[in-house]
Amino acid sequence: MQRAIADASAEASQLRAIAVALREEMENARADTQHAVARAIADSHGEIGQLKQTIGILRDELEKERAERDGLVRKAHLESQDEIKQLRATVASLRDALDHETVSREQSLNASRFADRSEITHLQQTIQELRQRLEAQVHRAD
């Protein structure tokens, strides 16, 4: 009986030792799990921080590109407006020159016609005078 008691006592001690060992193993496993979770959370926070930083950088670059594009568009618009003004001024200048040339040509043509009419009138008068002289000479010769 003492032996049974000793065996039972030894078995109880072994079971207690096993329970303590299992409890320690379970606590170690729980600690490892908590450590792994904490590490995963820290890694995630690190990655989240990097992603936020990357997003910020990309957003800044995008804004810079938009501003640069808008500046180029404004510059091109201003340049085209300036070119349009220059072309309109050139068209107006050429139109004025053409109008001036047309008026000048018409004045020259009118002056030439007037001179031609004057010459024709003078020649007709000369012809009339010569005819009259010729007729007078023909009458005298008769």
Is the model's pLDDT at 48 over the cut of 90? yes
10-38 pLDDT, tens digit per residue, is 888 898 999 999 999 999 999 999 999 99
Residue 139 has pLDDT above 90, yes or no: no
CA distance 114 to 106: 12
Is the whole model's pTM more than 0.85, yes or no? no
What is the reported pLDDT for 54? 98
- Model confidence at 109: pLDDT above 70: yes
Residue 142 confidence class, pLDDT cut points 50, 70, 90 = low
Q: Assign 74 a pLDDT band (cuts: 50, 70, 90).
A: very high
Predicted local confidence at residue 11, as pLDDT = 85
* Alpha-carbon distance values, 31 to 19, 22, 41, 70 (Å): 18, 14, 15, 57
65-95 as b/e: b if 16+ CB within 10 A: eeeeeeeeeeeeeeeeeeeeeeeeeeeeeee
Q: With a cut of 80, say whether residue 141 has pLDDT above it.
A: no
